[in-house]
Structure 1
Amino acid sequence: MHPAVRVAALVLGATWTVPNTLIGLVGGIAGLPFGAHCRWRRDDLALVFDRWPWGPGGAITFGNVILHTGDSLDVRCTTYAHRAAWCEDAPIQLADHERAHVYQYMVLGPLFLPMYLLFGGVSVRNRFERAADRYALTGRGWWPWPRP
């Protein structure tokens, strides 16, 4: 892809998902007084709030914002299918998994959250989660529907 086309696509995608990004910004900023740290991760196209103080642990993405309860996204974790004992997957990088969600948001924009919930929310059965795990395992396949 020509660099100018890639930049235009990234700007368009980031603009399309602004409503979701605003949700993440509100949550991230709310965590700052409670110890959250904010930084831009260029490779993930996201503003990351590490040490986010709420939730069961792990990370959640809203547009181009990732809220993460740990110290760094550069940690190994298991896939949803592995945790559900569906298979024996190798550990993945959490950053790669969340980057896939950023890409999904940039394509679907405001449609992402309703579709994510429609397909099962935080669950091994959710095609968005399985696609994010596939991307983290292989570096390909972040889109939740197979290509024809």
Structure 2
Amino acid sequence: MAWASPNTVLGLVAGGIGMAFGAHVHLRPQDLAVVFHRWPWGPGGALTLGNVILHTGDTLDSPCVTYAHRAGHGDEPHIMLADHERAHVYQYMVLGPLFLPVYLVCGGVSVRNPFERAADRYAHRGRGWWPWSATD
């Protein structure tokens, strides 16, 4: 968690600003994260920064579609948003301050990004959160 702390601080600052506009916060130990719900900006869904999850909805325990499904790469079952974001928390804990630059180089928020595909895989199967793991 200490290695991810620079990004966690960014998340806490963003979440704190969001609280002035109606967001509320709680600790989610099962996800190793502080979660800000009803975060007032963005197209919907969630964004993870270190051990902080900024979420535009009311609960992470909600179904969502995978990046591949959204991109039309097949009909995949829904996953739980909490599981997908937990995978990103784990990825941050490995890469720490390197996560954001590596994530952006790998394609940013898109189906092409191996970090997003790994988070979907983890949410679907409960394993394989590392983008280059042998689990498939």
Q: State the TM bucket, normalised to the shorter chain.
A: over 0.9
Q: Distance in 2 between matches of 1:123 and 1:99?
A: 18
Segments of 4+ moved more than 6 angstroms:
none
**Identity value in percent:** 70
Tell me the TM-score normalised to structure 1 length. 0.90
Q: Distance in 1 between matches of 2:133 and 2:52?
A: 26
Deviation at 1:147, TM superposition (A): 3.4
Question: Match of 2:32, as an amino acid?
Answer: L
Larger helix fraction of residues: 1
Mark the structure with the bigger radius of gyration: 1
Gaps of at least 5 residues in structure 2 are none
The corresponding residue for 2:7 is 20
Deviation at 1:33, TM superposition (A): 1.3
The corresponding residue for 2:126 is 139
Q: Distance in 2 between matches of 1:146 and 1:74?
A: 26
Is 2:55 aligned against 1:59? no
State the superposition RMSD in angstroms: 1.0
Deviation at 1:146, TM superposition (A): 2.6
Is 2:115 aligned against 1:128? yes
Q: Distance in 2 between matches of 1:146 and 1:24?
A: 27
Tell me the TM-score normalised to structure 2 length. 0.97
Q: Distance in 1 between matches of 2:91 and 2:59?
A: 22
Q: Distance in 2 between matches of 1:135 and 1:88?
A: 17
Which of 21, 33, 42 matches 1:46?
33
Gaps of at least 5 residues in structure 1 are 1-13
Q: Distance in 1 between matches of 2:75 and 2:92?
A: 28
**CA distances 1:31-86 after superposition (whole Å, capped 9, x unpaired):** 10111010000100000000000111100000000000000101000000001111
Is 2:50 aligned against 1:77? no
How many residue pairs end up in the alignment?
A: 135
Q: Distance in 2 between matches of 1:147 and 1:74?
A: 27
